[in-house]
Chains A and B, each alone.
Chain A
């Protein structure tokens, strides 16, 4: 699949709660569609400063799923040198965690990652992320990187702007409405557990993983700023039992292969 795809989420965690499981299932499905087989999924935890918590929760969510998870920690490369470009371009999905949008882009720039991610996107590697990791793909977003919510620039792979944690953080939403009214490019507001999937040039499709979470189109109409909820598909959470079966099956196959000497 070579259609460029980006999955942007207003906010979520890698927990075992149902809406988080639904989001992980979607990430896994998108990655698998590209891979054909066992997908490679890489976490970029840069926006958090590569915290152990973010990295551990990612592995807790994907470590026992049918995929090859890895993380690329730009603050920790000293302990585990890695060829950034080669590693990223081998992935099926690159997931960007939340944190400081300003620091995320500054550190990517320092390590010359923007051009690699842009190439990955054009090659059909799914780009995904939540919070700062979602806003970074747009022209602009509303970030708390400097304290109070304020406009910040993104990479601009996607036109327009994004505001995350939309109804979850009223101060951020207000800052967004003000910014769009003052000339920031129109865009979208995403509640926690609401997301947009961008495929090629088509308008994005909205989904939610939690009842009540919504995605909004936010645009200025001359008189003021209009906020229109978008029709969204509900993503049901996979049952934990099914998950356990998957894991058990995967482990059986891995064990068999190992015994047969097919792996490592």
Chain B
């Protein structure tokens, strides 16, 4: 039996939720699917399954491009009865933004956390932005209410994550504090940047905006070191194929 790669694309921010008229990140994740008309399921749980968000998803993922569906965990009497079966049938599971704390609570209540782990192992591509990015990591910086704080995610990726990352921002400073306090090393992704993991390892960083970047953050001799990562802008016809030079995340500047 062919071994399928486990893939997660974690957006710092972007896609249809944040970049109306810029489909580059959404096109990128659709392009990772093997089927020509992939099955894509949207999980808007982090927003409380907001109706307007679901509508925007269907507009961004129309029937001619994919077979789109969504699961509302607040309205289980509608939608697929067998969550596991439905999610395992997908090519791509797309998780929306909102509160990562609420998201994880609702997923646990419905057993979706375990199903997503299974789907990932089975080769279903997982992606999402903001809360929908933080959720895949072992540890994350949630700045959703009050002061940014440490949150434990599903732990599919054994790293930490900070979204909407801009060097010098409040989020960035909070992440640095948490790293100094013992948070495991990981990645920051700016709005428009997406971290593409194959297995546990970062394979490449792609972006929907020319200036968007991903960053590696780690503690070296007690100091937080932020390393900008080579990031491929998807807008100049770059798109698919190839990883980073040498196949690993490479620093472009320090």
A103 contact set on B, CB distance < 8 A = 73-74, 105-106, 109
Q: Are B73 and A100 in contact (CB under 8 A)?
A: yes
Q: Are A74 and B99 in contact (CB under 8 A)?
A: yes
Q: Is A91 an interface residue (CB 8 A)?
A: no
How far apart are the CA atoms of A148 and B77 in the complex, in Å? 7
A47 contact set on B, CB distance < 8 A = 74
B143 contact set on A, CB distance < 8 A = 78
A50 to chain B, nearest CB (A): 5
Q: Are B74 and A83 in contact (CB under 8 A)?
A: no
The bracket for how many chain A residues form the interface is 20 to 34
Q: Are A106 and B105 in contact (CB under 8 A)?
A: yes
- 0/1 per residue, A114-125, Cβ < 8 Å to B? 000000000000
Q: Which of B22-70 contact A (CB under 8 A)?
A: 46-51
B46 contact set on A, CB distance < 8 A = 75
Q: Is B110 an interface residue (CB 8 A)?
A: yes
A33 contact set on B, CB distance < 8 A = none
Binds B, one of A17-25, A139-147, A187-195: A139-147
Q: Are A74 and B102 in contact (CB under 8 A)?
A: yes
A83 contact set on B, CB distance < 8 A = 146
Q: Report which residue of A49, A78, A146 has the largest number of chain B beta carbons within 10 angstroms of its beta carbon.
A: A49
How far apart are the CA atoms of A74 and B144 in the complex, in Å? 10
Q: Are B99 and A48 in contact (CB under 8 A)?
A: no
Q: Are A82 and B73 in contact (CB under 8 A)?
A: no
Q: Are A102 and B110 in contact (CB under 8 A)?
A: yes
A74 contact set on B, CB distance < 8 A = 99, 101-102
Q: Is A51 an interface residue (CB 8 A)?
A: yes
Q: Is B190 an interface residue (CB 8 A)?
A: no
Q: Are A49 and B144 in contact (CB under 8 A)?
A: no
Q: Which of A131-172 contact B (CB under 8 A)?
A: 144-148
Q: Is A259 an interface residue (CB 8 A)?
A: no
- 0/1 per residue, B132-147, Cβ < 8 Å to A? 0000000000011110
Q: Which of B212-232 contact A (CB under 8 A)?
A: none
- 0/1 per residue, B97-108, Cβ < 8 Å to A? 011011011101
How far apart are the CA atoms of A83 and B146 in the complex, in Å? 7
A146 contact set on B, CB distance < 8 A = 76, 110
How far apart are the CA atoms of A100 and B144 in the complex, in Å? 23
Q: Are B74 and A99 in contact (CB under 8 A)?
A: yes
Q: Are B99 and A78 in contact (CB under 8 A)?
A: yes
Q: Are B110 and A78 in contact (CB under 8 A)?
A: no
Q: Are B102 and A107 in contact (CB under 8 A)?
A: yes
B21 contact set on A, CB distance < 8 A = none
B102 contact set on A, CB distance < 8 A = 74-75, 107, 110-111
Contact residues of B with A, CB < 8 Å? 46-51, 73-77, 81, 98-99, 101-102, 104-106, 108-110, 143-146
Contact residues of A with B, CB < 8 Å? 47-51, 74-78, 81-83, 99-100, 102-103, 105-111, 144-148
Q: List 15 A-B contacts (CB under 8 A).
A: A47-B74, A51-B50, A51-B51, A74-B99, A82-B145, A99-B74, A106-B106, A106-B108, A107-B102, A110-B101, A110-B105, A111-B102, A145-B76, A147-B76, A148-B77
